Chains A and B, each alone.
Chain A
Amino acid sequence: MKIALYGDLRKIVNIGEININLSDEIKVGDLLKSIEKLKDEIFEGDNLKKYYIILVNGVRIDLLSNLETVVKDGDIVHVFPPVSGG
């Protein structure tokens, strides 16, 4: 599976895409917290910081099961810094 990062998150984590081989399913929150620099930037305790957006296969996680949304090998997780809509 792939984690794609955008904007300043790329600079902070020092990479635009992270490819991971997942043998088991994992909750997206747990997956992202396992990446130390990302965890420090986008989480406040257990919660996602305000205005950061996570998509799983193009769908916002608030439309799925939030941080409990399960991801598996082959999925794409997009992580966006605060985006202004339009």
Chain B
Amino acid sequence: MIYGYAGSILRINLSDEKVSKENLCEDLVRNYIGGTGICSRILFDEISPGIDPLGEYNKIIFGTGPLTGTFWTSAGRFMVASKSPLTGIWAESHVGGFFGAEMKFAGWDFIIVEGKSEKHVEIIIHDDDIEITKSENWGHGTAHTIRKLSEKHNDSQVMCIGQAGENLVKYACVINNYSNAAGRTGLGAVMGSKKLKAIAVKGTGSFEVSDYDAFYEFTKISHERVMNNPQNKELGKYGTNLLVSYKSAIGELVSKNHQRGVFKNGAEKLSADVLREKYFVKSRACFVCRTHCKKVYEVKEGAFAGTISGGPEYEGTMAFGTNCLNSDFGSILKANEMCNDYGMDVISCGCTIAFAMECLERGIIKEEEIGYAMSWGDGEGIVKMVEDIAFRRGFGDILAEGTRKASIKIGKNAQRYAMEVKGLEISGQDGRGHRSVALTHAISVRGADHLRSLVTVDQLGYIEEAKKRFGENALPEVCNPYSEDKKAMAVKITEDVFAIRDSLITCWYTCGWPPIFWIEDFAQVLPLVTGIEHFGDVKNLMLIAERICNLRRLFNIREGLTEKDDYLPERFLKEPMPDGPSIGQTVNLKKMLNEYYEIRGWDENGIPRDEKAKSLGLEKELKEVISYL
């Protein structure tokens, strides 16, 4: 028995409907902990390079960690991993809600779904009882599917796709609890390709932690730390939307397809204060969470009156709002709600539409090709296009492929305006006004992502946190938003710590921002949960973190990724920020990238050196990957 884990992996092959139960082995736990760590091992071992992400040989994993389902604060997180149909490389997305905890109560740490069904199906899990049934919800949105399955199966927790996943939109997502999304990298399309509409799980069991009394005491303290944190209070009230005003003030508010860092005459209309006052209905929370950052909003008047939307968070307001120069909250809430129900990633969807708007402005595409007006700021046009993308109608069929593939198909130099890295649309940050995130976008394992290694001290300037996390010598450069100095080190450390966070699994809102927990806390809590003393040493945890980061990198290299894929669009490198406080700024990516490779122990091609692989026990894996080059 391994404390902190349910102890079993459920494997379901949809081609032959074979269901098997495997033991979670202790070696895997000791070397990779859980969550992203164990998924990195499984996907590296089981996915052959070059397979079609939408074919029968791809696999999709639903994963938890040792903290999932405990009463540790923010222990409601879980994850989904696969090979991405959007990027062709590592796919991973973390999500809150209740599904992960329920999985563990049902006795499963991981669910691996492989093969491909011939008919539309749903997987119904009640503890050890596993059923593959014909889907009665295919063709319906996520809200309908969740409601129906939950009612039919004894208040089960449900993860499902909407019509976008069924239609293989490349950035379709997986939804639970109506608006909690495993949003990025197209995991919904992987489910759709397997004709898997949903998984419903009901668990009546439990699992044990190693030292209950000590865990209980430390957990009490952890809850108090969250409750007493002033940032947590703001996050609980406004969600992440205060960022709109803050980013606007510092000149990092992503606007006009990442051209600008301010949204003149628009940002104030999209502030957290406006959202709270005019649209707020109630707060929602994930399993055991004290923050309650998820919000429900309602549009009460105007063209989109009647819309009730879970979210948006800052990224949704950015994607359908500032990045499209759209200051109409009604249409943003509508587009966000449609993404929840159709099951689409709001960042990729909104940013792909922003890309199309720039192409329209530059005459690369014509309004006749789209069939309706969709110029900058056109909220109604955005809402129409969200629907067309989900159902792959007209020009929406092209945009459903994501910015990179759409830009190639459109041609006429459209690629120049595709704001993506490795095929993933760039999230709502701008390295020209927040330098560390330029490197984060360029090197992140799943593409232009902020969540794997977001350093916030050069954005917010929390000097004490910077000292604690990166050392006194990192100051003042690490807190300077316009300097490349010390950023590679900060990004590398953060990426490693977050690899542990994502293996536990716990929420980033308590360790990235607000800065409540860090690696020392993980080293304290893990032995209490698992009984594995080896986890109590920060050095051991950081070694495991490096192993995870390097194995995910090797997965990508084996798929053909090279150092040329660690890039940023020229916009960030050569187009000086045109206005606002970051005016004139560009990014010197090469300097940060070289330093990052060096600190990581990678060669100039971004490949782990022999000695690095050896120190992590990954010599065999490196050798295998090199054999493919």
Chain A residues in the interface with B (C-beta under 8 A):
4, 6-8, 10, 16, 49-51, 53, 55, 57-60, 62-63, 78, 80-86
Pairs A-B, 9 closest by C-beta atoms: A58-B581, A85-B456, A82-B231, A82-B230, A84-B513, A85-B513, A60-B461, A78-B249, A62-B461
Chain A residues near B251 (CB, 8 Å)? 58
Number of interface residues of B (CB under 8 A): 42
Cβ distance A1 to chain B, nearest Cβ, rounded Å: 15
Q: Say yes or no: is B245 at the interface (Cβ < 8 Å to chain A).
A: yes
**Could you list 21 A-B pairs, sorted by A, with CB under 8 Å?**
A4-B249, A6-B271, A7-B234, A7-B273, A51-B231, A55-B249, A55-B250, A58-B249, A58-B580, A58-B582, A59-B581, A62-B461, A62-B463, A63-B481, A82-B231, A82-B233, A84-B231, A84-B509, A85-B454, A85-B513, A86-B429
- Do residues B461 and A53 form an inter-chain contact, with CB atoms below 8 A? yes
- Do residues A83 and B234 form an inter-chain contact, with CB atoms below 8 A? yes
Chain B residues near A53 (CB, 8 Å)? 246, 460-461
Q: Say yes or no: is B237 at the interface (Cβ < 8 Å to chain A).
A: yes
Cβ distance B249 to chain A, nearest Cβ, rounded Å: 4
Partner pick for B240 among A4, A49, A50, A84, CB 8 A cutoff = A84
Interface residues of B in 325-356 (CB under 8 A from A): none
Chain A residues near B463 (CB, 8 Å)? 62
Cβ distance B367 to chain A, nearest Cβ, rounded Å: 34
- Do residues B234 and A86 form an inter-chain contact, with CB atoms below 8 A? no
A19 CA to B242 CA, complexed, in Å: 22
- Do residues A82 and B581 form an inter-chain contact, with CB atoms below 8 A? no
Measured CB to CB, the nearest residue on chain B to A59 is: B581
Chain B residues in the interface with A (C-beta under 8 A):
229-231, 233-235, 237-238, 240, 242-243, 245-246, 249-251, 271-273, 314-315, 428-429, 450, 454, 456, 459-464, 479-481, 509, 512-514, 580-582
Cβ distance B213 to chain A, nearest Cβ, rounded Å: 32
- Do residues B230 and A51 form an inter-chain contact, with CB atoms below 8 A? yes
- Do residues A83 and B231 form an inter-chain contact, with CB atoms below 8 A? yes
Cβ distance A44 to chain B, nearest Cβ, rounded Å: 12
Chain B residues near A4 (CB, 8 Å)? 249
Further contacts, 18 of them, CB under 8 A, given A51-B230, A59-B250, A86-B314: A6-B242, A6-B246, A7-B237, A53-B460, A53-B461, A55-B249, A58-B250, A58-B582, A62-B479, A80-B242, A82-B230, A84-B231, A84-B240, A84-B242, A85-B454, A85-B513, A86-B240, A86-B512
A58 CA to B582 CA, complexed, in Å: 8
- Do residues B249 and A82 form an inter-chain contact, with CB atoms below 8 A? no
- Do residues A7 and B242 form an inter-chain contact, with CB atoms below 8 A? yes
- Assuming the A-B contacts A10-B273, A51-B231, are A83 and B246 also in contact, with contact meaning beta carbons closer than 8 angstroms in the complex? yes
A76 CA to B465 CA, complexed, in Å: 27
A22 CA to B47 CA, complexed, in Å: 66
Chain B residues near A51 (CB, 8 Å)? 230-231, 462, 514
Cβ distance B225 to chain A, nearest Cβ, rounded Å: 14
Measured CB to CB, the nearest residue on chain B to A17 is: B268
Partner pick for A81 among B230, B428, B509, CB 8 A cutoff = B230
- Do residues A6 and B514 form an inter-chain contact, with CB atoms below 8 A? no
Cβ distance B426 to chain A, nearest Cβ, rounded Å: 14
Count contacts between A and B, CB distance < 8 Å.
Answer: 96
Cβ distance B185 to chain A, nearest Cβ, rounded Å: 19
- Assuming the A-B contacts A58-B250, A82-B234, A84-B234, are A63 and B450 also in contact, with contact meaning beta carbons closer than 8 angstroms in the complex? no
A33 CA to B97 CA, complexed, in Å: 43
A7 CA to B243 CA, complexed, in Å: 11
Measured CB to CB, the nearest residue on chain A to B276 is: A7
Chain B residues near A86 (CB, 8 Å)? 240, 243, 314-315, 428-429, 450, 454, 456, 512-513
A6 CA to B316 CA, complexed, in Å: 20
Cβ distance B521 to chain A, nearest Cβ, rounded Å: 18
Chain A residues near B481 (CB, 8 Å)? 63
- Do residues B273 and A16 form an inter-chain contact, with CB atoms below 8 A? yes
Partner pick for B459 among A6, A49, A85, CB 8 A cutoff = A85
Chain A residues near B231 (CB, 8 Å)? 51, 82-84
A52 CA to B242 CA, complexed, in Å: 13
Cβ distance B435 to chain A, nearest Cβ, rounded Å: 13
Cβ distance A8 to chain B, nearest Cβ, rounded Å: 7
A5 CA to B13 CA, complexed, in Å: 56
Cβ distance B463 to chain A, nearest Cβ, rounded Å: 6
A8 CA to B230 CA, complexed, in Å: 11
Chain B residues near A80 (CB, 8 Å)? 242, 245-246, 249
Chain B residues near A63 (CB, 8 Å)? 461, 479-481
Chain B residues near A81 (CB, 8 Å)? 230, 234, 242
A59 CA to B251 CA, complexed, in Å: 9
Cβ distance A76 to chain B, nearest Cβ, rounded Å: 8
Chain A residues near B509 (CB, 8 Å)? 84
Cβ distance A4 to chain B, nearest Cβ, rounded Å: 8
A50 CA to B230 CA, complexed, in Å: 9
- Do residues A82 and B250 form an inter-chain contact, with CB atoms below 8 A? no
- Do residues B460 and A85 form an inter-chain contact, with CB atoms below 8 A? yes
A81 CA to B240 CA, complexed, in Å: 13
